[in-house]
Amino acid sequence: MSTPDAFTLVMTHECAHRVFQGHHFEGPNNGQWDEEMVADYFMGVRSGMQGIDIRDVIRGFQNSSGSMSHPSGPLRVKVMWFGKTHVEELLRRGYRPTLQGLFNDYMEFRSSIDDEVRRAFLDVGFSIVHRK
Ligand SMILES: [Zn+2]
């Protein structure tokens, strides 16, 4: 991945934090995981809109184990990949995606993976408690 592409994606993630600063998310650790996941989702959206190859990002995230503040890698990859493929599909069909529409679609996707998110959070908590 080129440095400009990496910069674009990092800035997109950080901008999403600003955009959703006042939004209360449900979910693990008082919504903290969800604040990260929605930012990762919009990274995926940006990559899909601009044709940025995110294979390197995915490789980097895939094996990260997660913490109280950040979801485990596979979850982050999942929402990012959804963002990328979802916006690509919208564009292919001739839609003009809006921030609100993309957010609504994310929330719908997010509720479909709720069990997985809860399990991942329990796993992270377990590994923190049992760390040597
Ligand atoms: Zn973040």
How does pLDDT run along the chain (132 residues), one tens digit per residue? 889 999 999 999 999 999 999 999 998 889 999 999 999 999 999 999 999 999 999 999 988 889 989 999 999 999 999 999 999 999 999 999 999 999 999 999 999 999 999 999 998 887 766 665
Cα of 38 vs centre of ligand 1, distance in Å, is 9
Cα of 94 vs centre of ligand 1, distance in Å, is 31
Domain tally, the chain:
1
- What is residue 76's predicted lDDT score, i.e. its pLDDT? 96
Task: For residue 24, give its domain range.
Answer: 3-129
Surrounding residues of ion ligand 1, Cβ less than 5 A: 36, 39
Taking the C-alpha atoms of residue 67 and residue 87, their distance in angstroms, rounded to an integer, is 29
10 Å CB burial of residue 34 (0-12, 13-18, 19+) is: buried
Cα of 32 vs centre of ligand 1, distance in Å, is 9
Taking the C-alpha atoms of residue 25 and residue 126, their distance in angstroms, rounded to an integer, is 23
Sign (positive or negative) of CA dihedral 16, 78, 7, 53:
negative
Q: What does the block give as tokens for 59?
A: 């490789």
Phi and psi (nearest 5°) for 5?
Answer: -65, -45
